[in-house]
Structure 1
Amino acid sequence: MRQVLLLNATYEPLTTLSLHRAVILVLREKADVVHRDGRGAVLRSATRTLDVPSVIRLRRYVRIPYRTRIPLTRAALMRRDNFRCAYCGQRAETIDHVIPRSRGGPHTWENCVASCTPCNHRKADRLLEELGWALRVAPVVPHGAHWRLIGAQLDGDPQWAPYLSETAA
């Protein structure tokens, strides 16, 4: 289903939502269409015509509690690593701790990477130095406005780029 970017009244990105939910917010006059779909698609009913939105903005400000760190979830970690194994570059299906938890490694952004199943099994509870392996990219804490989005697709609509830039945060 098509996703729509939802902005706060201050144009701060909040989340993505389904086209159905976005249209309901617009029709109930709780949100305004900021950017229409680039293909010029239109929704029609017996009495109304509505351009398909790509970005909508709430009319009233919604206070969102500030988070100092982005929560570490499987989905967010996979997105950060672009669903690629940190060791070989193949498609990743699992999460691996660079310093194994059995050896005192923490469950943090800096110690977790996406991994394919073969590499994860080969590595087991060993350190990279023991295997002679190296990480393709050092794991870091993600930052930026798009990481605060709940359920947002990083590869979403290219029309969202101006609203997800660092200056929009």
Structure 2
Amino acid sequence: MRRICLFPGTFDPVTLGHTDIIDRALPLVDELVIGIGVNSGKEPMFSVEQRVEWIQEIYRNEPRIRVTSYEGLTVNFCKQIGAQFILRGIRYVSDFEYEKAIADINRKMEHEVETVFLTCSPEYSTIASTLVRDVIRHGGDAAQFLPGPVAKTVASRIKS
């Protein structure tokens, strides 16, 4: 049986914290689906298409990674794509408490889907998309927090 794992998130924008978790999860699974959750109640800084494009570019040489967007409950999307695992990155203890509550609810709804937590590498523990968006919004240099393709897009956007 293929081990399929969903890494859900908004990835708005994709950060080095995200790629750290993705890179470290790859040896654990046969396929990693990066699912960009679409929340109609939120207005993202970057389009879903842009976020998909970034991830595809970053992982263009990695056949075990697939990227897509989805709406609705994450566990329902897991069933749709045949994922047995949900991957979540943890930076701080407070992240764990929040993520564990979600994992518990997901497990009650779909007992065959297991949530796996990876702690981020220490050098990325302060990187959060929310903070990076703030830096970008105020014209700061966010390149040190972003993978190359993302930094390039952001820099060209600020210049124009």
Q: What's the TM-score bracket when you normalise by the shorter of the two chains?
A: under 0.3
Asked which structure has the greater CA Rg, the reply is: 1
Which structure has more relative contact order (CA 8 Å, sep 6+)? It is 2
TM-score by length of 2: 0.25
TM-score by length of 1: 0.24
Identify, as 1 or 2, the structure richer in helix: 2
